[in-house]
Structure 1
Amino acid sequence: MKKLLYLSLLLFLIACSSEKTDEELLELDRIALNENLVSGKVVPYKFVKLMFRGYASDDTTSTKFKAFKRDSDKLVQKIMKLNRADDLSVKDYWAMYQLYDQMDGFVTQTDEDEFPVIVDAFRRFWDGTKSAHYFKGKAKAEQEAREHAFLTILAMTSSSLGTEIALYECSETDVELLPDSELKGDLRFLRGFVFMQKGFYYLSENEYSNNLEWLKKNKNLDLRATINSMQLGQFDQKQAYAAFRAMNHLYRGVDRLMMEREIDHERVLEDFEQVLKDCKTLKIDNEAVWAIEVYVHLEKGENDKAIASLEKLKKSKLLTDDDKALIDESIEYLKKDDPETVLKDVYDKVFMLKIASAFTYNRLKDVNTNKLLKKSKTPNASKIAKKTEVLENAVDQIDGFSNGETLKEATKKAGEEGEGLLEEAKELFDF
């Protein structure tokens, strides 16, 4: 009996210590992602969105929602009339924060997609559109995916929102609800990039793997607009398809490079060699390609070729002086026939991730989100575009009020109004 018990314990310990499968690691990323969605700026951001989406709702069943809607509608109506974010006074932002403070639990527990889409909120205010004419069913789900996508891009290009909010928008986007189109591929690609930036490498790899499988089944897709936005060159339909495939292999390879298992590192070379093959055919020659060339040449022991690629990479405007110093150090080690030190200590996986990220951010910063919104044929697109600044500013102000610092600074500039607000704030903050 004792032997059986020991054997069972041994088998249990072996099972616990064995290498996790792809699916298990993916699930761990999903759990960690959910924990990230109730922290930092995410809750105030979601609150501002619920204010807008709630404005279009006729729901009268929830007492909490009725209280939320009564006060938030007044703020939304004021915001809708603004041309600039700084037209809102300190008092307006303080009222917004007070409502946020009361409704924090409601915001955290509520799924924003239970409410009408943002576009319908704007249509209700500007055009008097009634709920009978709102997006419904499948059309609503598709519109939500588009809005989450637009706001992901807005967050990525915004200095105040950033990847924290982009991660939230990515998690809310159900790509599968969209029809097979260029937008679907773009959304998956962007989701993969955001997950990568936040260290969810298995979630990111999954997005790129799904995209590559989807591309195999949709070989006639016209992806020229996507490739043009990435500034990779002017291509015909087939070439654009190959270029987008290469970009998905590139980032899947970087994801795998950041992983710990041996099998993942073996898969890296498969991805990177496919990237180099496609880019050579398409004559794409840029920082991302040079970085991959270095890694592949180092793995194959081709030191001279690695040095040539490092020399090209060193001239890139995306690199800092410290980055260039690392490249010089790598070249010196390679001249001494020591590629192992370069791979492990100098030109490591984090450096590869930094180059890939800088390459993408450099292209994202040139994205005109207002133009993108208008191109999507969204009703009232030009008016909505003007409100994005208000959205960013409101989230910053509410987040700042949470520790009392924003109110302290604001009262110095707001005179009598500020003094009145300080009296209201005494119960919340210890000044």
Structure 2
Amino acid sequence: MKNLTILFLLLIIVAGCDEKSDEELLAKDKKQLLIELNSSKINHYKFAKLLIKSTIADSANKKVASFNSRIGDISNKVNHHDLDSLSIMDYIKLYRSYMKMESIIAETDEDDFPTLFDLLKVTKSDSSQSNSPLSKGTVKESEMVLEHSLLSVLAIASRDLGREISLYECSKSRIELLPDDGFKALLQFFRGIIFFEKGLYYLSEDEFSKNINWQNKAQNLSFQKINFHEFETDNETIIIYIHALNHLFRGCDRLMMEREIDEKRALKDFEIFIDDTHKIGLDDELTWSIETYLYLKNEEHDLAIASLSKLKSSKLLSSKEKDRINEAIAYLEDRETGQVLNGVYDKYFLCQIASSYIINLLAEVDWKAVLKANNVPHTDELFIYIDQLNGLLENLNKYSSVKYLNEKKDQLKQKSKDLFNDAMSLMKE
């Protein structure tokens, strides 16, 4: 019996040692991020960026020279002024070039090329800036951080570029190099959202924790130029709101993790979120969804039903999601809390509501106004560049698709057949 007891204790110790630390799980997410970045969509996007950036790069740069020599004369057409001049055959040639150098593109670091802001300076209509030297050293480093950070946010808010591209830009942004202020906090918050969307919960948690720690320690906080909610006129309210959102999504990260300690941490984050939102009088999908979860955990059925009834009125929810809420209410009326927490209104449904809310909020932001308010240079040209980059990427994908090429091949066959029939008719006359 004594031996069995010792064996049982050893098994408990081994099981406890097997549980990974926060640091180990964060390192695991970093490895997974590299796997996520290996996608054809990201490589196409990177190729499109390299095409545009290479047009202003220093010809003495061996990496740039090697890249340009492989894509041939088409690189001369790919610049700010005549992207529209690219023909269907140009795009097909570009795609062939891409296929030949796909592995090279994957290994090429776009930060060896000029920055986006270099491109904007060179292509700006003001000729006095056309001969400006390309950025180097710490100036280039700062511009690269800002470029990748901005594009990561604009991509996730764009239906065209999307979340994969946002993840790529996010992975390139060394946001820790930016000065600690409200604008950095906003960009770091969106990095957390991007990682959360891809299921990289430990990377995401780390971003929100950095923001929370900074807010808790910083003096004279100012978010007046971050107007992505109705609270933009009241800096104190914005401070509380940003603090609440960081706790909310850190809680969602922790809720999606597997360890028991993470769920306990998540519930604490949710409680702080609710306290913050009550301070500023916020009463919407976010508060209703989190209140519901906390009420369910405490088996406060009537309060949970009241919050669910409010949530059911949300325009963010689909008819199927509203049906799930009706089902949850029915279970609660029968006092079956477990059926709700473990099935109908589980952690996945809760985090989906929070994610949908913030993505919808991002899409409604006037990003041009936000960037101008934060003195980001060449804001107007930046949006022109993004449109052109998206057009280049869209056409590259379109004209290189097997479906498109097969359609063109069939059209050519039919055209040839019609010409042959016309010729035979003439011969018979």
CA contact (8 A) 2:292 2:308 kept: yes
CA contact (8 A) 1:145 1:175 kept: yes
Q: Counterpart amino acid of 1:333?
A: Y
Percent identical across equivalent pairs?
38
1:388 aligns with 2:367: no
What's the offset of the Cα at 1:362?
1.1
Comparing 196-205 with 148-157, which one deviates more in the overlay?
Answer: 148-157
SS in 2 for 1:225: coil
Residue 180 of structure 1 corresponds to 180
Q: Counterpart amino acid of 2:242?
A: F
What's the offset of the Cα at 1:378?
5.0
Q: Report which of the two structures shows the higher radius of gyration computed on alpha carbons.
A: 2
Comparing 32-41 with 68-77, which one deviates more in the overlay?
Answer: 68-77
Report 1:121-132 matches (<5 A): 121-126=119-124, 127=127
Residue 98 of structure 2 corresponds to 100
What's the offset of the Cα at 1:366?
1.4
Question: In structure 1, how many angstroms separate the alpha carbons of the residues matched to 2:133 and 2:311?
Answer: 54
Residue 357 of structure 1 corresponds to 355
Question: In structure 2, how many angstroms separate the alpha carbons of the residues matched to 1:377 and 1:73?
Answer: 37
Question: In structure 2, how many angstroms separate the alpha carbons of the residues matched to 1:57 and 1:93?
Answer: 22
Residue 68 of structure 2 corresponds to 69
SS in 1 for 2:364: coil
Question: In structure 2, how many angstroms separate the alpha carbons of the residues matched to 1:87 and 1:410?
Answer: 20
> Unaligned 5+ residue runs, structure 1?
1-6, 420-431
SS in 1 for 2:40: coil
Question: In structure 2, how many angstroms separate the alpha carbons of the residues matched to 1:72 and 1:124?
Answer: 22
Residue 307 of structure 1 corresponds to 305
Question: In structure 2, how many angstroms separate the alpha carbons of the residues matched to 1:408 and 1:129?
Answer: 46
Residue 170 of structure 2 corresponds to 170
Residue 260 of structure 1 corresponds to 258
Question: In structure 2, how many angstroms separate the alpha carbons of the residues matched to 1:328 and 1:234?
Answer: 35
Question: In structure 2, how many angstroms separate the alpha carbons of the residues matched to 1:283 and 1:128?
Answer: 51
Residue 288 of structure 1 corresponds to 286
Output the TM-score relative to the length of structure 2.
0.86
1:342 alignment partner, one of 337, 340, 343: 340
1:51 aligns with 2:44: no
Residue 425 of structure 2 corresponds to none
Q: Alpha carbons of 1:87 and 1:66: their partners in 2 closer, same or farther (altered >3 Å)? A: closer
Residue 421 of structure 2 corresponds to none
Superposed CA offset, 1:41-94 (max 9, x none): 1111111111222223215352x6314225478546444114xx7664212322
Question: In structure 2, how many angstroms separate the alpha carbons of the residues matched to 1:65 and 1:106?
Answer: 12
Residue 4 of structure 1 corresponds to none
What's the offset of the Cα at 1:15?
7.1
Residue 424 of structure 2 corresponds to none
Question: In structure 1, how many angstroms separate the alpha carbons of the residues matched to 2:57 and 2:265?
Answer: 49
Q: Alpha carbons of 1:158 and 1:133: their partners in 2 closer, same or farther (altered >3 Å)? A: same
What's the offset of the Cα at 1:129?
5.0
State the superposition RMSD in angstroms: 2.8
Superposed CA offset, 1:194-221 (max 9, x none): 0010110111011101111111222422
Superposed CA offset, 1:242-279 (max 9, x none): 11100000000111111111000001110000011011
> Unaligned 5+ residue runs, structure 2?
1-6, 417-429
Residue 137 of structure 1 corresponds to 137
CA contact (8 A) 1:373 1:385 kept: no
Q: Counterpart amino acid of 1:291?
A: S
CA contact (8 A) 1:287 1:359 kept: yes
What's the offset of the Cα at 1:340?
1.4
Q: Alpha carbons of 1:397 and 1:323: their partners in 2 closer, same or farther (altered >3 Å)? A: same
Q: Counterpart amino acid of 1:212?
A: I
Q: Counterpart amino acid of 2:145?
A: A
CA contact (8 A) 2:293 2:304 kept: yes
Question: In structure 2, how many angstroms separate the alpha carbons of the residues matched to 1:128 and 1:98?
Answer: 38
